[in-house]
Structure 1
């Protein structure tokens, strides 16, 4: 069942970037393995780039460049052909020299530079200017434009405060920048995405760089609903509403800056679940991708019927032997999220057989209802959920579902069966 996160059920306290995250997960039907603050190693490159200016050429500049290209290349000859005083020609030559278009061959003769030659047949000035670009030192990818809205922290300026409650991504020892040549083939849209002005045509030279870090979010995702041995399928770095997808083999290795952090998170999870009469004993553990797993040995009906940041009740969200379940992205102790960016998968396979049977049965009902509401309204053979369930289920099946829904206080399921559910429940 897809985790349909919408503005209707995203809590008000969720930051805007979290809303973008949930939307992306919903669009791609993925679950979070890890969602954590990370200090991303970044190179701030100082570049000399070639740009095609938006404004048209100064007429006098253009004429002088074309004349020099035609070997009319002294002050006297230029003044003669253009009908201007030599002092005026000398002033314009100084301007062109400052732009890097010409250079002196000897005391009297001027010649075009490489960039000056490119301007002979161009309607707009082609010039070399200095620009800065940032790349991820782990994946060697250009950072999107929103990355430039975050502070770049030089390596020499890192403090203990910067390292508090974050994970540090390791950078590559050797970084290949040859792919930056692809800038000359980028579309206007691509350039805008990477904070590259449309005027930039190519990179001439990398003059210098600074090594540092930026605080951002790392996402590792996969689909937990199919089985219990899920491998991650995608990873992103998030900069506000922009996501930089990383090949899984280039996901940076994470180094926790607080060694006792895992133990503290485990204790907080056990304490928070315990406050809801959910016992996980000592079963809690964490895999290599940051997903936390725990087996529930006992749980109250009240907690099983709750919805924690999802439209799915916990009874259905938890894992059983028959279903992979959905991770919990957040777990609040009343003040803060104790998961701190990790995902939690709870397994209720060891609970009473009646609870497991109810979980598996109600999951089938939710899948059936999800299929109904996922069908465009104009394409539905029946327009209301009660009629749909009557067509799909025998009367004794509906009665069994109703009994389970009442037992576990699943109000929306009761409404669906009784015909009280809103037409656009999931839309």
Structure 2
């Protein structure tokens, strides 16, 4: 019984990108400021490629090539010099002519350009047609993983499947006139990374192309603000020009984004979702929302709001940078999807709590990043016990309990039980 052929949804390859960016692309201290599926405009370019063949030249072919190169220009002369049968020589030359290695000019045999290159490389050189995916934004060839992603041709833009997907996607804008400078094989460092065969020698004429959109994922990352733009093609990621990418993100150019956020929060409140409390929304220089919390909801501060991190650990203060929290929005608020919000505490007592907790978490993170054989103390609890005053440890214990931060409670040294 024949095995059933497995079919995989190409969108699964897009999903791999999130883990790849988190695990391999984000540097120490960086965070995600914008994450969204995006449609990347590309060209499917059909081009002639000059390639070395994997087959070897026969001794007879090689001898005939060299004789023609030296000016021996007739079958009769080759027969006399080699002692081969005329029928055999004629057969080889016919095959060479059929592969465009030799040509007859005014009764003389001559090597073509392809024939000269074949002689130079010692193996047959052929011209084949290949198809490559070329980015219309960065004007460069796309990596091999790009061929495993969903692609929609321009002719299919009005299909129900595409218009249904487009609402949840950001579309990158291409140049009005796409430059094909990236199709220069001499500038490519790794052929394999771009799906080009090792045998390729040079690109020739373009014989056709089609336009469309490739399903990828866009990430804006940085420390205190977006500093890098990454487009992920499954497990392969490429950096794009940040300034060019920023100008194409509709959500960051929306003049009514503050109003939409306020409406979104009201909608969440009506659905009895846990919110941050009371505050005012403003935008930073990139158009990303910032909320100054004037009266915080302590229950929200104790909730895991981003990757299990409690709200109090994500909030900033006057002297502490806020960590971005992803905005999850659907339906009529889907235009907000992909954005992150940074929250700043304005209540003095909460600012102090946030500062103490953040400082402690960073201290613990630094300990864990230290190689095990270089650590002064065997456990983090022992390290804390020997590093911090007992009074400060008790304050941290109270804060960890108040904001339900189990990860902090577990790192603190155990309380001594006093028996009367």
User: TM-score, normalised on structure 2?
Assistant: 0.82
Answer yes or no: is 1:176 the counterpart of 2:179.
yes
| Equivalent residue, structure 2, for 1:143 | 142
In structure 1, the partner of 2:118 is 119
1:367-386 matched pairs, under 5 angstroms = 367-386=362-381
Aligned to 2:412: 417
Give yes or no for contact 2:327–2:340 (8 Å, CA) kept in 1. Answer: yes
Alpha-carbon distance in 1 for matches of 2:197, 2:381: 56
Task: Identify, as 1 or 2, the structure richer in helix.
Answer: 2
How far does residue 311 in structure 1 lie from its aligned partner after superposition?
Answer: 4.8
Whole-Å separation in 2 of the counterparts to 1:373 and 1:307:
22
The CA deviation at 1:393 is 1.3
Contact 2:103 2:110 (8 Å CA) reproduced: yes
* Separation in 2, partners of 1:386, 1:339: 42
After superposition, the CA RMSD in angstroms is 3.1
Work out which of the residue numbers 296, 311, 315 in structure 2 matches 1:314.
311
Please tell me whether residue 278 in structure 1 is matched to residue 276 in structure 2.
yes
Q: 1:249 to 1:125 in 2, by over 3 A?
A: farther
Aligned pair in 2 of structure 1 residues 80, 163: CA closer, same or farther (>3 Å)? Answer: farther
Can you give the 5+ residue segments of structure 2 that lack an aligned partner in the other structure? Answer: 1-13, 416-420
Instruction: Report what 2:222 is aligned to.
Output: 222
Report the Cα distance in structure 2 between the residues aligned to 1:100 and 1:305, rounded to whole angstroms. Answer: 75
- Residue 291 of structure 1 corresponds to which residue in structure 2? 288
CA–CA distance in 2 between the matches of 1:143 and 1:28? 27
Q: What are the superposed Cα offsets for residues 166-217 of structure 1, whole Å, 9 maximum, x if unpaired?
A: 2222111233333433x33544xx2111111111122233333323221211
Give how far 1:265 is off: 6.7
Q: How does 1:163-242 map to 2 (within 5 A)?
A: 163-181=166-184, 183-184=185-186, 186-187=188-189, 190-224=190-224, 230=225, 232-242=226-236
Report the number of matched residues.
Answer: 392
Q: Is the 8 A contact 2:139 2:181 kept in 1?
A: no
Matched residues in 1 for 2:278 and 2:104: separation?
81
What's 1:158 paired with?
157
Contact 2:221 2:227 in 1 (8 A): yes
CA distance in 2, matches of 1:84, 1:54: 27
CA apart distance, 1:325 = 1.7
| Partner Cα separation in structure 2 for residue 415 and residue 291 of structure 1 | 35
Output the CA distance in 2 between the equivalents of 1:25 and 1:114: 45
Q: What TM-score, normalized to structure 1? A: 0.81
Gaps of 5+ in 1: 1-13, 225-229, 421-427
The change in CA–CA distance for 1:409 and 1:151 in structure 2 (over 3 A counts) is: closer
Note the 1:394-409 alignment, pairs <5 A: 394-409=389-404
